[in-house]
Structures are given as C-alpha cells and as structure tokens.
Structure 1
Amino acid sequence: MFAHDVHLLLALVTTVAMLVVAADGAVRVASGSPPGRIADVGAKVLLVLVMMAAAGGLALLVSEHRPGELLHGMYAFLALGAVPVADSLFSRTSTRPRALARCLGAVVGVVILVRLFNTG
C-alpha cells in the first residue's frame, strides 16, 4: 500500500533528522558554541517532518488503517513536541544548557520514534 509506505518513509527520515539534531546539540555542548543558522533550520525542518509523518498517519487512520496500538497517536503527539518543548524550556539560559536541552529533547524524540515503530 502506497500511503503506508510513504508514512513509513517519512517516519524513517524523521528519525534520521532527529538523530542529526541530537548530534548537533552534542557538538554544541562539547564546544560551547551558540546555535547557528543551520541548527535553527534543522529544528524547523525536523518539526515539519514530524508533522508530515503525523499527517500521513492521520490519512491512514481516516482510510481505516489503524495502528497496532492506540498509544501510537499519543506517541506521535509526544514526538511532535520533544525538541520544541526542550528548546522552549531552556530558551533563556546560556549556550551549553540550551544545547544540552536540545540534545536530550532529540534523544527523547528518537526513543519515542522507536516506540512508534513498535506500536505501528
């Protein structure tokens, strides 16, 4: 089924993007450098990817293709907010805590995405 394959591909790309954001945060923690333009664009692209995968999942849900567990929707919602919430909570701190928050938010997001694959 094409829609399912597209949803799965978007989820895989989202997972890779989440790993890239986590790696960027880890590098910034180690170096103490402030977030650059690429880091900000990466977080925005990640958010768009998560929303696209969720939209594909909603399309599958409407077409009567249900996930294996109902928790799948809750995990999708949590994955959507993992990095933005971490960024928001630490937006007024210095460089390293912000980078650490983004890194940890992305790591939590990866764990959530792995759980999504298990419930799907």
Structure 2
Amino acid sequence: MAAMKSMIFLLALMFLVTRLASSVEDIDSVLAQHILHVKSQAKGPVYGPSMARMPSPTKGGNCVEMCAEYCKPTTPKRPCMKTCAACCAKNKCVPKLMKCHDWDKVMFQGKMVNCP
C-alpha cells in the first residue's frame, strides 16, 4: 500500500512538473510570436534643411516700419497698424511716406475696410 501511495505521488509530481514546464514554454512561444508580429513603425524620409523664402520686398521698404511711422499720431495703434499693414500689402505703399494711388479700401478678415 505504501508503494502504491508513493507511486501515485511520483506520478502526480511528474504530471505537475511537466505541466509547469509546458506552460512556461507556451508563455515563451506566445511572447515570441507577439514580438514577431509587432512591426516597427515605418520611418519617413529624412529631408535636409531647406532655405527659407525671403519676404517679397515692397517699393518703399518694410510695411511694418512704414505703418508704424504712419500710425504714430493715432491713439489706438493696433487697429491702425492692422488695417495699414493690409493696405500696404495690397498697394505696396503708405501715404505721407510716398505717393499711393489705390489707398482707399481693402478686404481685411472677410470685410471691406477703409484704409487709415
């Protein structure tokens, strides 16, 4: 009877050891398959640095500088500067500093605005 118990114990122990070993192998194979199926992200092409475009020169120079001079006497400078810059970009000039022919209205943010 004691031999039978020890034989059953050994069989159960061998079953547990083989089961644990196979489960570890299963985990390793699942991890290996997962690693194989995960693709590295494709990298885009690498472009060298490009030269920045130079702003197009206006006839009289820089619109910001010309509009700053033009809007000096006004008290709320920001609205004057915005509309002046839009008018200068359209006409390439600012009155008082040079002769402007079409300094009347300009489309600014979807609205027709009188140039200052």
TM-score, structure 2 normalization: 0.26
Which structure dedicates a bigger proportion of its chain to helix? 1
Q: Which structure is higher in strand share?
A: 2
- Which has the larger Rg? 2
Quick one: higher RCO (CA 8 Å, sep 6+), 1 or 2? 1
TM-score between the two structures when normalised by the length of structure 1: 0.25
